[in-house]
Amino acid sequence: MAFVTRAVKGTHDLFGDPLAYHRAIVDAARRWAEAAGAAEIATPIFEFTEVFERGVGPTSDIVQKEMFTFSDRAGRSLTLRPEGTAGVVRAYNEHGMKVWPQPVRLWYAGPMFRAERPQKGRQRQFHQVGYEVLGSDQPELDAEAVALSYHILASLGLRNMRLLLGSVGDPADRERYNAYLRELLAPHAARLSEDSRRRLVTNPMRILDSKNSGDRALLAELDVRPMLAFLGSEAKAHFEAVRARLGALGVPYEVDPSIVRGLDYYVRTSWEIHHDELGAQSALGGGGRYDGLSELLGGPPAPGVGWALGIERVALAMEAEGLSPAPAPALDLYIVPLESSLVPRALEVAARFWPELRVQYALKARKPGKGLQEAEKKGARFAALLGPDEATAGTLTVKNLETGEQHTLPLEEVREWVGKGGRA
């Protein structure tokens, strides 16, 4: 096992069952996103570092300590994307999507990269599906986005999840709230954790998110007023409108008055979906509104709202609830040459059935018994014997491995019979 080369820490080869989950989750997301009229977009997995520094925010943990950043040969700083939204907004601006009929709905799926210490539900390369609506700040779109993120998870069969909805207000509201927090907490700075003392200067709201027990105890004593109490009239009206739309859509949620998101670009609506059986990393996904992001990236004003789901985490949640994805499609037919001179012929026959049927063939001559056994092991629905008689007659002796029914048929009829058996 002491291989010289191995996968980099926190990265994984994806195949078999985990890949089946992955595909099922992306398929569900595609189905719902496209139902809402979204078009797929695939942006590069690396961007100029600036895209994330300015987009995600220089004070965010992601930018400060979690990015894979490197230089290209011309000395420009590039970064493996730690999230999907900044790149999508960059593409929206770069391709002049503001002249498309607004709003523009986009969805994506792909790998993201963060240089964190791996643990359950957290890899250095992980995968997300995401949804972004750009070009309008109407509350219907917030509700639409929240509803889609919820329905996708529900359609996969998940039940034990909690949708937490809040608002981080407009930038001016946040400034007032941060000022309030600084004033409230500064006298108690000595009791705060080191991280939280730093946050007191950079971003006091993040202190509310701390899991440090000392921080939590202090916050409980101080009876901190929530962000929601500081919403300006516009942000407040927007939040109430989103709640009303969501209620009308029948999406179950709890208001979390102190919700804080780790990405600096969020304004107003903000939500997370948690699952209780995931361990420490309990967020399946989250999203929010980011009306100022386009300008941060040097573009025209383009309000937006979107979300991302962590594919690996959704897969963990499905496993925890005993949900399995559909198995990989089985082989339709396995061709068994009875003499070694017929191996090339087996290939020719297989090739003739592609791609209508999934067909494989034995690379060595097999006795009929062994051949059928092998077909069974490969998960084939039918096995075909190819002996001298069949080769001469241009036929195959085909057997349904489930029922035992067997016929010697010309190739066209084999195609018909096997094809009729139905494919997953």
Q: Which residues bind RNA (CB under 7 A)?
A: 1-2, 9-10, 60-62, 66, 83, 114, 116-123, 126, 128, 195, 199, 206, 209-212, 260-263, 272, 279-286, 308-310, 312-313, 338, 364, 367-370, 372-373, 375-377, 385, 387-390, 397, 399, 401-402, 404, 406, 408
Say how far apart CA 343 and CA 337 lie, in whole Å.
Answer: 6
Least separation in angstroms between residue 216's CB and RNA is 9
Say how far apart CA 255 and CA 345 lie, in whole Å.
Answer: 67
What is the sign of the dihedral through the CA atoms of 283, 287, 288 and 292? positive
Q: Enumerate the H helices of 115-166 as residue ranges.
A: 139-155
| Cβ distance to RNA smaller for residue 1 or 74 | 1
Residue owning tokens 């096997």: 418
Say how far apart CA 196 and CA 203 lie, in whole Å.
Answer: 9
The bridge status of strand 69-71 relative to strand 359-361 is unpaired
Least separation in angstroms between residue 154's CB and RNA is 16
As given in the structure block, the two tokens for residue 400 are 């349904």
Least separation in angstroms between residue 243's CB and RNA is 21
The bridge status of strand 69-71 relative to strand 104-113 is unpaired
| Cβ distance to RNA smaller for residue 93 or 397 | 397
| Cβ distance to RNA smaller for residue 196 or 236 | 196
| Cβ distance to RNA smaller for residue 211 or 420 | 211
Say how far apart CA 185 and CA 224 lie, in whole Å.
Answer: 9
| Cβ distance to RNA smaller for residue 187 or 404 | 404
As given in the structure block, the two tokens for residue 81 are 């994307």
Residue owning tokens 């730093």: 198
| Cβ distance to RNA smaller for residue 138 or 373 | 373
As given in the structure block, the two tokens for residue 118 are 């791996």
Nearest in space to 345 (alpha carbons), one of 366, 357, 362, 330: 362
DSSP 297-326: TT-----EEEEEEEHHHHHHHHHHTT--PP
Least separation in angstroms between residue 343's CB and RNA is 13
| Cβ distance to RNA smaller for residue 236 or 265 | 265
Least separation in angstroms between residue 250's CB and RNA is 23
As given in the structure block, the two tokens for residue 187 are 């006298």
Least separation in angstroms between residue 404's CB and RNA is 4
Least separation in angstroms between residue 252's CB and RNA is 18
Least separation in angstroms between residue 34's CB and RNA is 21
Looking at beta carbons, which pairs linking 395-402 to residues 24 or more positions away fall under 8 Å?
A: 396/335, 396/349, 398/333, 399/372, 401/372, 401/375, 401/376
Nearest in space to 209 (alpha carbons), one of 303, 283, 298: 283
| Cβ distance to RNA smaller for residue 111 or 232 | 111
Least separation in angstroms between residue 331's CB and RNA is 12
The number of beta carbons lying within 10 Å of the beta carbon of residue 326 is 10
As given in the structure block, the two tokens for residue 333 are 């037919």
| Cβ distance to RNA smaller for residue 118 or 299 | 118
